[in-house]
Structure 1
Amino acid sequence: MTTTGTGAAAVHAPGRSFRPLAGVLAATVVSVTGTRVSAIALPWFVLATTGSATMTGLVAFAEMAPYVAVKALTGPLVDRLGPRVVSWTTDAVSAVTAGLVPLLHARGLLPFWALLVMVAVIGAMRGPGDLAKSVMVPEAADHARVPMERATGLSGVTERLASTIGPAVGGGLVALIGPLAGLAVNAVTFALGSLIIAVALPRGMGRPAVPAVAAVAAEPSAEEQPAGYWRMFREGFTFLRSEPLLLTVIVMIGITNLIDAGFTTVLVPVWARESGNGPAAIGLAAAVMGATAVVGSLIAAAVASRLPRRTVFFAGFLLCGAPRFLVLALDAPMWLVLTVFAIGGFGAGFLNPILGAVLFERVPRHLLGRVHALGDSLSWAGIPLGGLVAGAAVATVGLIPGLIAGGALYFATTTLAGLRPEWREMDRFRGHAGSAVQAGGAADAADDSEPAHCA
């Protein structure tokens, strides 16, 4: 069922089916699992072959910079080509590229510049691939006839589950066999994710978005023709600019993502090496955090629709943010590290279901790909710099001061941001997907007028 524009759901209401939602979630879990395996294997591979935290950060930059840039520009393409086609094709390209890394290294044909190029290709493909899977969640929720918060909660559970399995598998593989095995697993999971989307989803799922303006005459006028790429891009940007809450979320998440990127790609691997705990400790800590995040996401999927979003959201950030940095900086015993990561994971499990529900409620379906792509890209804009900043910090001031500074900045960002008045809007359109525009402003957005404001 395509639910774009006003009244789309009333035109065709199929029977309840969980197959689309199960297919999207399955593709997400295998793709994210491979990415999490690679998130341990790739930094350890670079550290083992170069011994440089700066070069490790450079590899992280090479992957995430194309991810952010391409994702920002592919929103209109996802809406026009359809998320299904974009998802399976980009995953297929990623599978081939990821498979070449261990193959070429084994033959001595992988200089550092070639590794950067391949990592950049994978990042460029992952951006639209992740976007396409996310865009299909509301349509799958319609098929399953489940509330949006429950669907986004289940999506969060699958991501958290993958974030538990992936690091555990990655840490074990790297410790027992070596980082190249983890990179090979990443290629296999990309291929499996592509196959699920291409074959397992029902026909008609993930089609191109239908223009919001319905045809009212036998021969459509110029305004009723599908918009061009840059016009579609501009519509998404115009709508996002009119949403103070979404812009506030983007700024705050952008800062925390930058810090988290440096923490994951540089600070944690360097801590594991300097403390003597090794790559298995990275996988264990991430797996523990992922396991408790699954519990948090399950609870969020079940009861988040009845909880005050703002309070839960910032409480989750308080648990999952600064404490992780500080426990590593204090050189605490491993049991305490795991305890802090477990508590942080539980808090983190509530975040994405809330963010996803707010996005899907406030953005009309025919703009979802564009607005989602722009929002994600802006909030991820700092991620490519996270590894570079963390690598430079370790090289300049050392690991412990870098961890303390990162934790302090994380706490300040997530605490001060909550004082802004825009956060009161989090519950305004609760339970109404794309309600503000679909209720009467869809035509305005389609003809380049200022879109209807939700505030």
Structure 2
Amino acid sequence: MTSKTTLPLYLTATAASLFGNSAIAIVLPWLVLERTGDPAMAGTVAAASALPGAIAAFAGGHLIDKVGRRRMSVLSDLGSASAVAALAIVDAVVGLNVAWFIGLGVLGALFDVPGMTARETLLANVSETSGVGLDKVAAWRGMLFGLSFLAGPAVAGWLLTLLPSIQVVWITATCSAAAALAIGLMPLRPTAIAAAEDNSPLAGFTHIRRSRPLLTLLVISLGSIVLVAPLLSVVLPAHFIALAAPGLLGLSLSAYAVGTMAGSGVYGWLFDGRRWTAWMVANLLYVVSAVLIATLSGFWLVAAGMMAAGLASGLLQPISTVVLTEHVPDALRGRVFGAYSALAMVASPLGLGLMALVLAGADLRVGAWVLAAGWALVGGYAIVAPGLKGYIQPEQEVADADHRPVG
């Protein structure tokens, strides 16, 4: 028996959690500035949460395999809701200061990433119970990522203009609680926790190291993150500040978000399981986007590049999730996904550090072309890497896709 409510509840939980995370990323720095008046302190709070987040991603993967995906998702969302709500409670009782901001920021980071990873590992269970194909479930999830990137900060900013910041904090806490409730109520076919041959917390890393395709996918994923982080945090802001048009930065990021939604939609409903074709198109789009952005020519070329990059991201996100879900053993899925998430959180600051080194000896235009060259290398490797085509789309799936109508 399939359930018609499983997929809507899963998507509701995903949307609520993503919006809550996007909103708190805006609300927390705002609250820090209100209470301390120190802009640098907002950055300190964010930086203090980075390392615990990476550790939590690794440890959370182990707990997902040990206690179960649904249970870990619910517990993590409840923990996130409690950490955010504690900001409002502490502020009302004793008043927030720097120590409280850092402590509660770290506490929130310890729950956020494991919760996202747990929901990601539930993808196969949701597909099986709902009767909706794995590729389409992943495509829906990818579209929600794009929507949260587009609407989350905007809605949070709008709420801050209407309500006191503490009330907005309560709204974001409610989002995490709603995500926990949706996952808890979501019908799933009962499955026993699979027994693993290796119960070590490091088993995920071991499995990746022993699988050449998984290792290749990891290298491509980390390479992409190393390039995206300085693009979004350094190159684009510096370009639009130089143009004296900071408002256009928001529009270019919106183009990326719209592209992400469109890319995931195109993957789920037009490629219809033709993963390798979508994979090649996405990586070529990334290279094209990098060249357009590297011109740093006004707004329109850069915005077109961001739209193309969003399309590529929207295509690649569901492919990567589905491929990992299909190929990683059930008993190791949490630890493998957790390993990917932990390393991704390390790759982002690495990319920022490398860009800082480039810009220490060259101007912004050189930095932009360095990123374009990096995308050419990553995109080319993603297409020609040995054994990857058959891993992403086995021959039988190719034959099945060729006999299905598009759409």
The secondary structure found in structure 1 opposite 2:194 is coil
Match of 1:416 in 2: 377
Q: Note the C-alpha offset of 1:281.
A: 5.9
Match of 2:344 among 373, 379, 393: 379
Match of 2:142 in 1: 156
Structure 1 segment 302-317 matched on structure 2, within 5 A: 302-304=269-271, 305-306=273-274, 308-317=277-286
Match of 1:353 in 2: 318
The CA deviation string for residues 37-81 of structure 1, in whole angstroms up to 9 with x for no partner, is: 2334445666783234xx554433322322211111222211121
The residue type equivalent to 2:9 in the other structure is: G
Unaligned runs of 5+ in 2: 397-407
TM-score under structure 2 normalisation?
0.80
Does structure 1 conserve the Cα–Cα contact (< 8 Å) formed by 2:294 and 2:372?
Answer: no
The 1:367–1:359 alpha-carbon spacing in structure 2 relative to 1, beyond 3 Å, is same
Match of 2:393 in 1: 430
1:246 and 2:246 equivalent? no
The residue type equivalent to 2:186 in the other structure is: L
The secondary structure found in structure 2 opposite 1:146 is coil
Partners of 1:406 and 1:181 lie apart in 2 by 41
Partners of 1:170 and 1:270 lie apart in 2 by 24
The secondary structure found in structure 1 opposite 2:284 is helix
Match of 2:193 in 1: 209
Does structure 2 conserve the Cα–Cα contact (< 8 Å) formed by 1:40 and 1:282?
Answer: no
Match of 2:267 in 1: 300
Match of 1:220 in 2: none
Q: Note the C-alpha offset of 1:251.
A: 2.6
Instruction: Answer with 265-274 or 156-165: which moved more.
Output: 265-274
The CA deviation string for residues 413-453 of structure 1, in whole angstroms up to 9 with x for no partner, is: 332134445364134363799xxxxxxxxxxxxxxxxxxxx
Partners of 1:393 and 1:189 lie apart in 2 by 39
The 1:416–1:150 alpha-carbon spacing in structure 2 relative to 1, beyond 3 Å, is same
The 1:72–1:182 alpha-carbon spacing in structure 2 relative to 1, beyond 3 Å, is same
Does structure 2 conserve the Cα–Cα contact (< 8 Å) formed by 1:60 and 1:384?
Answer: no
The secondary structure found in structure 1 opposite 2:139 is helix
Match of 1:441 in 2: none
Higher helix share: 2
The residue type equivalent to 1:39 in the other structure is: A
The secondary structure found in structure 2 opposite 1:211 is coil
The percentage of counterpart residues that share the same residue type is 25
Match of 2:62 among 72, 76, 89: 76
Partners of 2:28 and 2:351 lie apart in 1 by 16
TM-score under structure 1 normalisation?
0.72
Partners of 2:302 and 2:47 lie apart in 1 by 27
Structure 1 vs Structure 2 CA RMSD: 3.7
The residue type equivalent to 2:210 in the other structure is: S
Does structure 1 conserve the Cα–Cα contact (< 8 Å) formed by 2:278 and 2:315?
Answer: no
The secondary structure found in structure 2 opposite 1:350 is helix
The residue type equivalent to 1:87 in the other structure is: S
Does structure 2 conserve the Cα–Cα contact (< 8 Å) formed by 1:296 and 1:347?
Answer: yes
Unaligned runs of 5+ in 1: 1-14, 213-226, 434-455
Match of 1:28 in 2: 14
Instruction: Answer with 342-351 or 36-45: which moved more.
Output: 36-45
The residue type equivalent to 2:214 in the other structure is: L
